[in-house]
Amino acid sequence: MTPRRLGGRVLKLGMQGPDVAALQTLLADLGFDPGPPDGQFGWLTYEALREFQRAMRLQVDGVAGKQVFALLKDGNRLPTRRVHIVAPGETPTRILRRYGLRPEALYAYNSLRSLKHLYEGQEVILPQRLVIAYMADGDRSLKSLLWHHRFLSGVAGLWLQIGERQELVGSIPEQVAEAARERDLFLLPVLTNLGKGGYEGRLFRRAVGRRGPRQNLIGQLRRALQGAHGLILDFRDLALGDVSAIGRLLDGLKPLRRQLLLFLTLPARDLGRPWRGMFGEDYWALAEKVDGIILRFDDELKAPSRPGPIIDDGRCREVLARVLEAVPAWKVILRLPAYGWQWTGRPIKRFGFWPALAWENPEPAAYHQAVQLGGAHGWREDGARVDYVQDGPRRLWIETAKTMAAKASFVNKYNLAGLAVFALGLEDPRIWKEIGANHLIRKAGNNW
């Protein structure tokens, strides 16, 4: 008989062959337990496959088909799990203390029943995620990187831009590149079309919409990405018709993906309709062409429409539920804001009275600014809001460790690829320990 390769047939309970052994090996490499790779599709393999399907939010039927094979063959780009072998007398509390994790990290992949009765040699699965931090301007951002690098997988920055003449503008700061190399971090420059005067969409279409300029841009990217581990695409103010241009750009970048990670950033805040309705069936195809979709819940250039959190837990959960209908969960990276906004109040006169304030002129604010104001004027709303008077009423909302931790917990709940934070130096520094307690941190040396 001709040797069977993995993917050549659908695999089910009771089947056997070298392709079954390959399936067992790949499942084991990802931290699932299919038993020995003996080529027999038995109950252990069946349960391991169901567990994999459940973790990847696929149909849970214990049958390995086209979608399962595609994921397993690209397994080193999926959310990873670390297997801990229980030592004699070890308890869940000791395991948590050893890795610096909270109980929710154990429950992400292990049943409560299995954790109650640990035995020597038992396998306990620990989640391992990607955590990306964006750089901001100023020394405070670099200092935060140097101080909190152990909680990070990689560092990103808005270092590459599309210029007015379709040229690539900018470069990776050597100081940041050196810090990333020394600390085993992914170095991930961001390519954006941010410009002046609201011409971002036009800049994108001139540089990417036509084949000639697009090929020229890709050639410039090859040179600019020397020493980097990947590239993040973050384009602003695009029209629905630009989706096909993004797809063509991703096709042109396909050779780079053999050596580099490729991420596509998409906004969550402006999505009023289901993603399939907005982007059509092309959306899943875009996700297949990249290693991750960075879901941007914030926009550092645009304030929320009114004072309040940039994104609250309920809204975040609502958007995720909709997104995961059209995008594979294992490719989604939540980008959360670590800063806040402050507004100036203007009294509104109605019927001869001054009953309310109109909040206007929003300005971004960092956590360290909020701490100073909160100390002087007092905190409101569980330490996330400050009301004070300075040339009129002012109100500041900030992201704290508590508010960010609640949203960061969705990474384990939905088995997402990871988390991104914007930006270093603007954040409540306590957030990093909260993130580190949710899951282990994937590093550049982890063979992604």
Question: What does the DSSP assignment read for 299-331?
Answer: -TTS--SSSS-SS-HHHHHHHHHHHTTTS-GGG
Q: Which two tokens stand for residue 40?
A: 């027999």
Report CA 38 to chain centroid distance, whole Å: 37
Residue pLDDT, tens place only, 204-253: 999 999 999 999 999 999 999 999 999 999 998 888 778 889 999 999 99
Q: Where are the domains positioned within the chain?
A: 18-73, 129-337+409-446, 341-397
- The architecture that CATH gives domain 18-73 is Orthogonal Bundle (1.10)
pLDDT confidence of 272, banded at 50, 70, 90?
A: very low
For residue 341, the model assigns a pLDDT of 93
Distance CA 350, CA 234 (A): 43
Note whether 399 and 391 are within 8 A (CB): no
What SS3 state is found at 187? strand
Residues shown for the chain = 448
Q: What is the pLDDT of residue 176?
A: 97
- Percent of all residues in the chain with a pLDDT value above 90, rounded to a whole number: 49
Q: What percent of the chain has pLDDT over 70?
A: 91
Would you say the CATH fold of 129-337+409-446 matches that of 18-73? no
Asked whether residue 448 carries a pLDDT value surpassing 60, the answer given is no
Return the CATH number of 129-337+409-446, one of 3.40.50.20, 3.40.640.10, 3.20.20.80, 3.40.50.1980: 3.20.20.80
Q: Using an 8 Å Cβ cutoff, are 437 and 105 in contact?
A: yes
According to the model, what pLDDT value does residue 110 have? 78
Whether the per-residue pLDDT at 446 is higher than 70: the answer is no
Assign 333 a pLDDT band (cuts: 50, 70, 90): very high
Closest CA to 55 of 413, 335, 409, 447: 413
Least confident of 49-58, 68-77, 95-104, 334-343: 68-77
Q: What is the pLDDT of residues 141-179, one digit of tens each?
A: 999 999 999 999 999 999 999 998 889 999 999 999 999
According to the model, what pLDDT value does residue 142 have? 96
pLDDT higher than threshold 90 for residue 347: no
The tens digit of pLDDT for each residue in 68-98 reads 888 787 654 555 678 899 999 999 999 999 9
Q: How does DSSP classify residue 446?
A: G
The yes-or-no verdict on residue 355 having pLDDT over 70 is no
Contact 439, 127 (CB under 8 A): yes
Average pLDDT along the chain: 86
What pLDDT, on the 0 to 100 scale, is given for residue 269?
58
pLDDT on residue 75 = 56
Q: What is the pTM of this model?
A: 0.85
Separation of first and last alpha carbons in the chain = 36
Compute the 3-state secondary structure of the chain and give helix, strand, coil in percent, each to the nearest 5: 40, 25, 35
pLDDT of residue 2: 45
Q: Reduce the DSSP state of residue 262 to 3 states and report it.
A: strand
pLDDT at 276 over 80: no
Whether the pLDDT of residue 314 is over 50: the answer is yes
Is the pLDDT score of 436 beyond 60? yes
